[in-house]
Amino acid sequence: MTEAPVHFSEMTMDNGVREPYRRYDGWFAEQDVARLDRKAQEAEAFFRRTGITFNVYGQSDAEERLIPFDLVPRILSSSEWSKLARGVDQRVRAINAFLHDIYNRQEILRAGVVPVDLVARNDAFLPEMIDFTPPGNVYTHIVGTDIVRTGEDDFFVLEDNARTPSGVSYMLENRETMLQMFPELFLQNRVQRVNDYPKNLRASLEGSAPGNCDGRPCVVVLTPGIHNSAYYEHSFLADQMGVELVEGHDLRVVGGHIAMRTTRGYKRIDVIYRRVDDDFLDPLTFNPASMLGVPGIMDVYRAGNITIANAPGTGVADDKAIYCYMPEIVEFYTGEKAILRNVETFRCSEPDTLKYVLDNLKDLVVKEVHGSGGYGMLVGPAASKSELSEFAEKLKARPANYIAQPTLSLSTVPIFTQAGLAPRHVDLRPFALVSPEGVTIAPGGLTRVALAEGSLVVNSSQGGGTKDTWVLED
Amino acid sequence: MLGKTAGGLYWMFRGLERAENTARLIEAGFRMALTRSSDPDSEWKSVIVTSAVQMTYEARHDVYDSARVTDFLLRDPENPSSVLSVIKTSRDNARLVRTALTTEVWSAVNETWMILADLLKEPVKETDLPAVLDTIRRQSAVVRGALHGTMLRKDTFDFCRLGTFIERADSTARIIDVKYHALLPSPSFVGSRMDNVQWETILRSVSAHRSFRWAVEGDYNAPNIASFLILDRRMPRSLAFCAAQIVDNLAYLAEDYGEESDSLRIARSLQARLKGRDIASIFEEGLHDFLSLALSETARLGFQIEHDYRFNA
C-alpha cells in the first residue's frame, strides 16, 4: 500500500490562499453559486451556437463535442510566468538549432550527445530536409510546450509539441468568454493580454516568408478539412489572421510557386501555415495516397519558393525518445543549463530499463514514443490488473515503441461544481512563435484540466476540460 | 476569394432555400389532405414529383401517403433533398466557408441546424407538423436576416444570392410545371377551365395565396396566376424576379472582377425571355415547353457559374 500523495494546490496552501488567487478568492466568496451555475450553462450554449467544437475520431453519434470549459481561472504570478517563459524560449531556440544541426552538419551526433540511431532510424526524420535550410532558418514557427507543476517552484516539461500543436484557439476563446461573463474580474485583477496572438502569428509567418517574395507575403492556413478534429481551430485562426483557409485541392504548383484557386484564377502564395501532417503534405514525396496535400510542394519548398510552417521533419525533435535528451540538447546549443526540467524518463528499448518498467508498471505512466492525444497510453495507478498485464504484453512485444515516466503528483486548481470548488489536476501549454526576429510567447496558454476526481489525464479526447489561464502583471 | 469558398456559399444558400421550399410544399400538400379538396394521395405524389425526388421515393416506398411523404421529405437521410439532409449540407458548407461569413450568419446557420436536428430526430406527428414547418421557414428567415444585415456587399454576398435565386427559380418553375402536367395533359386545354383548388395549392406552395389577391386585379384563373408566378417582378418568387436578381448579382461580380462572364450572358438571355412578355404569348408557345426550357436553362446557368468562378478543381 502506498500513501495517497499530497498534491500541490495552486490556489490554497496551509489553509491560506496563495497570493495570485487572493483577489479571485475574495470575489468568489461573494458569488451566488446558482448564478455561477447559470453562467456556466450560458457559456456552454454560447460554445455550441458558435460551433467551438472538436471532432472525436471513431464516435459517429457524437460527431462534434464541446471541450468542457471551467469558469475558475488558472492564475500565475508575473514572476512564476517569467521563469516559465524564459525556459520555454530557451527550449524553443534549442529545438530550432537542433533541427538545423541534424539536417546539416550533425555536430550533436558526432559529439555523441544524442545517439545516431535515435535520429537515423526515426520515422519523423525526413531525408528530404538534409542539406536544406528553410527560409529564415526557422523550423518550428509554432511550438506548444506541455508543462506540469508539482510544487511551488517545480515545473517540468512533459512534452514539446513541435509539429502542429493545437489548442491556441481555446486559449483565445476562453479569455473572450471570461471577459463576457465576468468583466468585473478583469477590473480587479490586472491580467496580461493574450488577444494579440493572431496578429503576432501573422506577423511571425510573414516574417518567415521566402527571401524572393516581393510585396506583402500571402499567407494561408492549410487544413485537412471540416472533418478534422481541430477544424474549428483552423478556421478560427485563418479568420482571426484575415487569411484564406485552404485545402490541398485548392492548391497547385504554377510556374514554380504554390498557387491557390480563386474565383479569378490562380494566385501565388508565399507562406503555408499547414495543419496537415508531414506524411500527407506531398503525395509525390511522401504518402502517395494522400489527398490532403499538394503534389510537388516539396520541390517548390526545396527551391526556396514557399515557406511551410512548421517545416517538414520537425517531428524528430518532439519525439518522446529524443525528449529524454532535451537537457543535453539545450546545453549543447545554448551553452546554458536548461531552465525547465524534464520528467525522469525510462527508455523501454534498453533491456535493464524494460525490466524495471515491467516490474513497476503499476506506479508508472507508459506512453507510445510517437503517440499523442492521450491515445494508447497507460496510467499505471489507475489501471486494472488485466489492463496492466495486457499492456505488459504490448510492451514486451515492442519495447522500443514505449517510454515510461513516474506518475507525477500534478498540481491542482479548483474547478466549479454544484457543491462549490473542488481540486482537479491541470497541465499548461504555452504557445511560442518563432520568426527570424526571435521568439514571442503569449502570456498564458492553454490550461487543460482533468474533470474526474483524482484523474491525471487532461487530454480533451479523453474527457478533459480547459480553463482560462491568467498571467498577472506585477 | 477561393473558388471553393464561392462554391460553398452558393451551395449553402441553395440548400437553405431548398429547405424552405420543401416546407412550403409540404404545407400546401398537408392542407389539401386536411381539406379533402381532391385525392390526397395523388396530391402527395405531385409534391414528390415537384421536389424532383420521385425515383428515390419510389425506391423506398410503394404508396404515397401523408406520413410517408412528409417523413421522406423532412427527415429521410437517404433523400439528399430532405430538409434534414440539406440543412446538414448547408451547415457543413457554412463550416467550410466559415471565414467568409460574419459571426451572425454562421451562428444563425449553426443554430438552425441544431434546432432542426433536434426537431427532426423522431418522425414528426401530425399535430406537430404545422409548428415544425413554421420553424423551418422561420429559421430560414433568421439566416436571411443575418445575411442582409451583416454581410459586406461584395463577391461573397453575390455568391450567396446566386445560390438562393438559382434554387428558387428552379423550384417555382417546377411547381407550375408539375401542376400543369397533373391537370392538363393536353395543351389544348390550357387557359380554359381550371380547378380553383389546384391553383390555390400552387399559390400556397409559394406562399402567395394572399399576395395574389392584393396584387392582381383580375380573376382567380390560370392565365392570371401563371402570369403572376412567371412574369410579375413584384412577386419575390416569380421567375422574372429571380432572373432579375441573378442578372444583378452576376453584373456586380462582373463589375467587381472587371470582366463579364459567360454566366452573365446566359442569365441575360434567360431574363430576355421574360421581359415585356404577356402570358398569352407564353401559352401560345406552350406553357410546358416554356417551363422545360426555363428549367434546363437555369440548370445550364448553374453549371456555368460553377465553371466561371472555379468552384471545383
Residue A331's nearest CA partner among A115, A133, A134, A114 is A114
- Asked whether the predicted pLDDT for residue A443 surpasses 90, the reply is yes
- Asked whether the predicted pLDDT for residue A140 surpasses 70, the reply is yes
Taking CA–CA distances from A45, the nearest residue in chain B reads B111
- Map residue A466 onto helix, strand or coil: strand
CATH number for the domain that contains residue A383: 3.30.1490.270
Q: How far apart are the first and last CA of chain A?
A: 45
- Asked whether the predicted pLDDT for residue A14 surpasses 80, the reply is no
**Residues A239, B99: C-beta atoms closer than 8 Å:** yes
- Asked whether the predicted pLDDT for residue B168 surpasses 90, the reply is yes
Is the domain of A249 the same as that of A395? no
- Asked whether the predicted pLDDT for residue B192 surpasses 50, the reply is no
- Asked whether the predicted pLDDT for residue A62 surpasses 80, the reply is no
Is the domain of A271 the same as that of A357? no
Give CA–CA dist B111/B116, Å, rounded.
Answer: 8
Is the domain of A193 the same as that of A64? yes
Across chain B, what does the average pLDDT equal? 91
Residue A178's nearest CA partner among A71, A273, A102 is A71
Q: Which of A407, A423, A447 is the last residue of a domain?
A: A407
Does residue A4 form part of some domain?
no
Q: What pLDDT band is residue B184 in, cutting at 50, 70 and 90?
A: low
Comparing A332-336, A463-467, B53-57, the range with the smallest average pLDDT is A463-467
The pLDDT score that the predictor gives to residue B207 is: 86
Q: A159: phi > 0 → left, psi -120 to 50 → alpha, else beta; which?
A: beta
Give CA–CA dist A157/A428, Å, rounded.
Answer: 9
Strands (E), B181-269: none
Residues B37-50 as b/e (b if ≥16 CB within 10 A, e otherwise) read beebeebbbbbbbb
Total residue length of chain A? 474
Is the domain of A193 the same as that of A95? yes
- Angle formed by the axes of helices B222-231 and B196-205, nearest 10°: 10
- Output the 3-class SS for B146-160: HHHHHCCCCHHHHHH
**Residues B98, A50: C-beta atoms closer than 8 Å:** no
- Output the 3-class SS for B102-136: CHHHHHHHHHHHHHHHHHCCCCCCCCCHHHHHHHH
- Map residue A143 onto helix, strand or coil: strand
C-alpha cell at B306: 460553377
Is the domain of A352 the same as that of A448? no
Comparing B122-136, B187-201, B205-219, the range with the smallest average pLDDT is B187-201
Give CA–CA dist A29/A15, Å, rounded.
Answer: 15
**Residues A235, B98: C-beta atoms closer than 8 Å:** yes
Instruction: Residue B114: list chain A partners with CB under 8 A.
Output: 48-49
pTM: 0.90
The pLDDT score that the predictor gives to residue B40 is: 74
The pLDDT score that the predictor gives to residue B257 is: 96
Comparing A53-57, A205-209, B89-93, the range with the smallest average pLDDT is A53-57
d(CA A306, nearest CA chain B) in Å: 19
Give CA–CA dist A160/A156, Å, rounded.
Answer: 11
Query: Chain A contact for B71, CB < 8 A?
Result: no
Among chain A, residues having any CB pair with chain B shorter than 8 Å are 48-51, 225-226, 231, 235, 238-239, 244-247, 249-250, 252, 260-265
Is the domain of A401 the same as that of A442? no
Comparing A290-304, B116-130, B275-289, the range with the smallest average pLDDT is B275-289
Residues 6+ apart with CB under 8 A from A181: A39, A42, A43, A71
Identify the DSSP state of B262: H
**Cβ(A204)–Cβ(A141) under 8 Å?**
yes
The pLDDT score that the predictor gives to residue B264 is: 98
The pLDDT score that the predictor gives to residue B17 is: 97
pLDDT per position as a tens digit, B231-264: 999 999 999 999 999 999 999 999 999 999 999 9
**Residues B99, A264: C-beta atoms closer than 8 Å:** no
Taking CA–CA distances from B7, the nearest residue in chain A reads A263
Distance of CA A441 to the CA centre of its chain: 13
Does residue A5 form part of some domain?
no
The pLDDT score that the predictor gives to residue A56 is: 58
The pLDDT score that the predictor gives to residue B186 is: 44
Question: In the Cβ-directed half-sphere of A213, how many Cα atoms lie within 13 Å?
Answer: 24
Across chain A, what does the average pLDDT equal? 91
**Residues A50, B107: C-beta atoms closer than 8 Å:** yes
Does residue A146 form part of some domain?
yes
- Higher confidence at residue B265 or residue A419? B265
Give the pLDDT mean for B297-307. 98
The pLDDT score that the predictor gives to residue B308 is: 97
Q: What pLDDT band is residue B269 in, cutting at 50, 70 and 90?
A: very high
Does residue A67 form part of some domain?
yes
Give CA–CA dist A390/A111, Å, rounded.
Answer: 40
Give CA–CA dist A195/A323, Å, rounded.
Answer: 31
pLDDT per position as a tens digit, A155-203: 999 999 999 999 999 999 999 999 999 999 999 999 999 999 999 999 9
Q: Which of A367, A392, A407 is the last residue of a domain?
A: A407
**Cβ(A457)–Cβ(A374) under 8 Å?**
yes
Question: In the Cβ-directed half-sphere of A418, how many Cα atoms lie within 13 Å?
Answer: 1
**Residues B310, A262: C-beta atoms closer than 8 Å:** yes
Does residue A7 form part of some domain?
no
**Residues A263, B99: C-beta atoms closer than 8 Å:** no
The pLDDT score that the predictor gives to residue A1 is: 40
Query: Cβ-count burial of A48 within 10 angstroms (0-12 exposed, 13-18 middle, 19+ buried)?
Result: middle
Q: Which amino acid is at A25?
A: D
Does residue A33 form part of some domain?
yes
The pLDDT score that the predictor gives to residue B218 is: 75
Instruction: Residue B2: list chain A partners with CB under 8 A.
Output: 244, 246, 250, 260-263
Does residue A3 form part of some domain?
no
**Residues A265, B310: C-beta atoms closer than 8 Å:** yes
- Asked whether the predicted pLDDT for residue B191 surpasses 50, the reply is no
Share of chain B above pLDDT 70, in %: 94
pLDDT per position as a tens digit, B16-59: 999 999 999 999 888 888 876 667 788 899 899 999 999 999 99
Instruction: Residue A61: list chain B partners with CB under 8 A.
Output: none
Is the domain of A143 the same as that of A208? yes
**Cβ(A323)–Cβ(A341) under 8 Å?**
no
Q: Which of A407, A424, A452 is the last residue of a domain?
A: A407
Is the domain of A414 the same as that of A377? no
Comparing A4-13, B123-132, B289-298, the range with the smallest average pLDDT is A4-13
Is the domain of A251 the same as that of A383? no
Domain that holds residue A110: 12-343+408-471
Residue A433's nearest CA partner among A215, A223, A198, A276 is A198
Report the residue of A64, A263, A273 to disrupt the B interface, i.e. the one with the largest count of B CBs within 10 Å.
A263
Is the domain of A163 the same as that of A206? yes
The owner of cell 429571380 is: B242
Beta strands A271-274; A219-222: pairing state: parallel
Is the domain of A160 the same as that of A210? yes
Give CA–CA dist B277/B230, Å, rounded.
Answer: 10
Is the domain of A237 the same as that of A98? yes
Give CA–CA dist A225/B29, Å, rounded.
Answer: 39
pLDDT per position as a tens digit, B55-102: 999 999 999 999 999 999 999 999 999 999 999 999 999 999 999 999
Does residue A395 form part of some domain?
yes
Q: Which amino acid is at A433?
A: L
Give CA–CA dist B218/B214, Å, rounded.
Answer: 10
Domain count, chain A: 2
Q: Is-cis flag, bond preceding A342, omega within 30?
A: no
Which of A48, A244, A249 has the CB atom closest to B313's CB atom? A249
Q: How far is CA A337 from CA A79, A94, A150, in A?
A: 19, 11, 20
